[in-house]
Amino acid sequence: MTNQAPLPVNATIGILGGGQLARMLGASAAKLGFRTVFLEPGQDAPASQTCNAQIIAEYDDKTALKELASQCDVITYEFENVPASAAEFITNNNTLYPPTIALETSQDRLLEKTFLRSNGIEVAPFENIETADDLSKVLKALDGGVLKTRRFGYDGKGQRVFKNELCDAPAKVIEEMGGGPFVLEQLIAFKSEFSIIAARNVSGKVVAYDPATNVHENGILRQSTVPASLDDNTIARAKGVAENVLNALNYVGVIGIEFFETDDGLLVNEFAPRVHNSGHWTEEVCATSQFEQHIRAITGLPLGSVQRHHDCKMGNLLGSEADDIAHLLENSNVSVTLYGKSQSREGRKMGHFTELLDITS
């Protein structure tokens, strides 16, 4: 464990990516007196309304990465598909938090599940799939399953569910899904899905927020509810898993860990080395939001309290659902956050709302 002096006021934080997560990180950085520069190829990005400056470039543009490294005191990222070459370049020229190992592990479902298992954390039974023959054999062995591309999946994209071992044309499936490689996971009949947002700072201190029960629709998060419908034992075990993952990765920053609750215990689905959609409620409901917590962790400031002062429901606003916020705000306990995206599309995350409820536990 190391101790590191906190970054001074007006220090500059670099963010790879300019979407809604960078936008909310930028606002929290400003709150604590930091400047932010984000690197992102698109113009008019959500982060441009809260960050101080943008470097418009592709993520693997070495000249742009050099500029970012020279302008910043620490660099973070808001999405896990940062190219490995960019992460390596930043690590060699500045400080990247969360560390590259967390990024690389979460980028590849096979590496991720192998890492979790080797740290004694249970995951759904899975196998590596590279050929049509692998797919047929493993579908039989697992009696169906979820085929997932090893890399670049999000919001349920790059996945196909097989309810049983039957697959008429495995070669066609592999071709339609981009050729692979894949993992095939057993289809889990979970009782519920939930997530834990946790943080670790440079001194190795860990904090974990209360878990949220998550409901997905078409692979996209629809709603998070806090407190989660879990017993105290399960919550304690899940927080223990979060601490285990953070320590094993020598992590600095906020992480989101997704779980399945089953009749036989807990399984980790996946983790995201960043602030997480299912933790947006922390902004209105906790002493310290996940965004501020991440900024505190990566700048060497003390971590804040994760104490919750309300129960809540957080819902995503997809596509045109974000067009009429006045209607949502008629309930004075509802808070809306929009992401400033100029183009709305069906299913696109345009914002979210959090409804505050009286605290019960």
Calpha distance 270→287 (Å, rounded): 26
Binding pattern for the stretch 193-212 against ligand ATP, x by CB under 6 A and - elsewhere: x-------------------
**Shortest Cβ 118–ligand ATP spacing (Å):** 19
From 216, 237, 310, 348, residue interacting with ligand ATP (rule: CB under 6 A): 216
Single out the segment in contact with ligand ATP by CB under 6 A; choices: 153-161, 234-242, 322-330, 345-353.
153-161
Please give the residues from 252 up to 291 whose contact with Mg ion meets the rule CB under 5 A.
Answer: 258
Applying CB under 6 A, the site for ligand ATP has a residue count of 17
C-beta closer to ligand ATP: residue 134 or 261: 261
* Three-state SS annotation for the chain: CCCCCCCCCCCEEEEECCCHHHHHHHHHHHHCCCEEEEECCCCCCHHHHCCCEEECCCCCCHHHHHHHHHHCCEEEECCCCCCHHHHHHHHHHCCECCCHHHHHHHHCHHHHHHHHHHCCCCCCCEEEECCHHHHHHHHHHHCCEEEEECCCCCCCCCEEEECCCCCCCHHHHHHHCCCCCEEEECCCCCCEEEEEEEEECCCCCEEECCCEEEEEECCEEEEEEECCCCCHHHHHHHHHHHHHHHHHCCCCEEEEEEEEEECCEEEEEEEECCCCHHHCCHHHHECCCHHHHHHHHHHCCCCCCCCECCEEEEEEEEHHHHCCHHHHHCCCCEEEEECCCCCCCCCCEEEEEEEEECCCC
C-beta closer to Mg ion: residue 54 or 277: 277
Of 139, 80, 131, 141, the closest CA to residue 270 belongs to 80
From 122, 155, 165, 243, residue interacting with ligand ATP (rule: CB under 6 A): 155
C-beta closer to ligand ATP: residue 212 or 221: 221
Binding pattern for the stretch 90-129 against ligand ATP, x by CB under 6 A and - elsewhere: ----------------------------------x-----
C-beta closer to ligand ATP: residue 154 or 169: 154
Choose the one of ligand ATP, Mg ion, none that binds residue 355, judging by a C-beta under 5 to 8 angstroms depending on kind: none
Q: Which residue is nearest to Mg ion (CB)?
A: 258
For residue 35 the two structure tokens come to 């400047």
Token pair 């500029």 in the structure block, residue: 67
Choose the one of ligand ATP, Mg ion, none that binds residue 207, judging by a C-beta under 5 to 8 angstroms depending on kind: none
For residue 103 the two structure tokens come to 């990024």
C-beta closer to ligand ATP: residue 146 or 199: 146
How many of the other CB atoms lie within 10 Å of CB of 205?
Answer: 13
Helix (H) or strand (E) holding 134: helix 132-142
**Shortest Cβ 3–ligand ATP spacing (Å):** 34
C-beta closer to Mg ion: residue 214 or 234: 214
138 binds ligand ATP (CB under 6 A): no
C-beta closer to ligand ATP: residue 156 or 204: 156
From 40, 258, 284, 311, residue interacting with ligand ATP (rule: CB under 6 A): 258
C-beta closer to Mg ion: residue 134 or 258: 258
C-beta closer to Mg ion: residue 34 or 194: 194
**Shortest Cβ 216–ligand ATP spacing (Å):** 4
For residue 155 the two structure tokens come to 């919001």
**Shortest Cβ 113–ligand ATP spacing (Å):** 10
261 binds ligand ATP (CB under 6 A): no
- Where on the chain is the footprint of ligand ATP (CB under 6 A)? 124, 146, 153-157, 185, 187-188, 193, 216, 219, 221, 258, 269-270
Q: Which residues bind Mg ion (CB under 5 A)?
A: 258
